[in-house]
Amino acid sequence: MKLRFIVAIILFNFLFILPPQVKGWYPRLISESFVTGPLSVQIIGEDRSYILAPGDVLPDIARRFRVGYNSISRANPDVDPWDPGHWREILLPFRTILPAAAQPGITINLAEYRLYLIWNEGDKTRVRIYPVGIGQPGWATPEGLFEITMKIESPSWTSPPAFRANGQTPAIIPPGPDNPLGQHWLGLSAPGVGIHGTNKPHGIGRRVSHGCIRLYPADIEDLYRRVWEGIPVKITYQPIKVALDGKDLVVQAHPDFLGRIKTPLDKVVEVMNGLGWEGKIDRNALNKVIDEARGIPVTISEPF
């Protein structure tokens, strides 16, 4: 009987819960990747659920489903990352609001550890989302408007002089499994900064790099072949994003790890006014979204 139960759970995950082709970027479903309205109010993707199996830990699940570690851990705050239990349901956070002022090209929102690739396809606009690792404290990823200036496959890594001081880090690491750049390098117009792969995929969704933007190996391979030298790259920091879902006002809050937003309510009202929305905010719901900062889009408007 126990074996039948386990088999039933596995089949249920496979048939009904797991997103199709769970690898690489998302949304995996083409129908979920279309931008159906103005970029400034667009919500993309749909969340999925997953039932934990014995031996599962959140860092491995994040890598398996290509959501960053920070995203999956914040979305499931009551789950111990290293001892999550089993046969319980967790949330895979794929649904998200596009960053404000996102345009065709690449937009990276540091606050949510995501890279958005937006492009026009005929008379339609589509988006792909890739989780990223970003600069650690003291090695911040620069913000601003840049462009890709070079593309290199199988790059070598030249270590900064500070890394060589201990005599343990070689000046140049050739292509291969020990190369921290992975198999692809997209150099930016920001000096010394690029978008690249990694030989440490558990760092995706964390502040771990020395200023560069890291992607899962499968994701950088996909992104590399879709972009070109000269494509615009906007790097921004938006812990709070606001959008409209029909008549509902939706807020997505992430931890403000740089401490820039002193009055979150004022920030929401500022963006809300820019959208021309004239409904009424549920203050309790908004305060809960801000306090929890789970990175999940939540409706905070009162019913009309």
pTM for the whole structure: 0.88
Superfamily of domain 132-236 in CATH is L,D-transpeptidase catalytic domain-like (2.40.440.10)
From the list 184, 202, 210, 212, the catalytic residue is: 212
Residue 196 falls in the annotated catalytic set: yes
- pLDDT at site 18: 46
From the list 184, 196, 202, 210, the catalytic residue is: 196
The segment(s) of the chain belonging to CATH 2.40.440.10 are 132-236
Query: pLDDT under 50 in the chain at which residues?
Result: 7-12, 14-22
- pLDDT at site 81: 92
- pLDDT at site 297: 96
- pLDDT at site 271: 81
CATH number of 2-31+49-93: 3.10.350.10
pLDDT tens for residues 230-240? 999 999 999 99
- pLDDT at site 146: 98
pLDDT tens for residues 110-146? 999 999 999 998 888 999 999 999 999 999 999 999 9
Closest CA to 23 of 243, 222, 162: 222
Residue 212 falls in the annotated catalytic set: yes
The segment(s) of the chain belonging to CATH 3.10.350.10 are 2-31+49-93
- pLDDT at site 114: 96
- pLDDT at site 14: 44
